[in-house]
Amino acid sequence: MLSIPCPFCGPRSEHEFLCMGEISERAVRPQTLDDAAWSDHLYNRGNPDTPVDERWWHVHGCRSWLHVRRHPHTQAIVSCQADQERT
């Protein structure tokens, strides 16, 4: 089980959160992409061996949006802070 250190509530079980996916760059002009390129942008993610930035929602807690940096292979949480764009 993953323990996420919420900056407002302290360490909590991952079951209190919803992972909303990787934080990625948006296509600047999606209308210029063909269907295959747009589908690739929406659904395909890399599988890096380095920490990734993810957006998590503390749905069963303080209801804050969090910016979590997590290593996808070891599940180690590198950092967790309030997401300034969503809080």
Q: What is the pLDDT of residue 83?
A: 85
Question: In the predicted model, is pLDDT for residue 29 greater than 70?
Answer: yes
Question: Is 32 part of any domain?
Answer: no
66 located within any domain: yes
Indicate whether 59 belongs to any domain: yes
pLDDT in tens, 45-56: 778 889 999 999
Query: What does the pLDDT read at residue 85?
Result: 65
Residue 64 lies in a domain: yes
CATH of the domain at 82: 3.30.2270.10
pTM of structure: 0.78
With respect to residue 41, please indicate whether it lies within any of the assigned structural domains: no
Tell me the residue range of the domain where 62 lies. 1-19+50-87
What are the pLDDT digits (tens) for 50-86? 999 999 999 999 999 999 999 989 999 999 999 876 5
- Residue 25 DSSP one-character state: P
pLDDT beyond 80 at 31? yes
Average pLDDT, rounded, for the chain: 89
3-18 per-position pLDDT tens digit:
999 999 999 999 999 9
Return the H-helix or E-strand segment holding 35. Answer: helix 35-43
Q: How many domains does the chain have?
A: 1
Whether 40 maps to a domain, the answer reads no
**What distance in Å separates the CA atoms of residue 7 and residue 87, rounded to the nearest whole number?**
12
Residue 44 within any structural domain of the chain = no
Alpha carbon distance 20, 36 (integer Å):
23
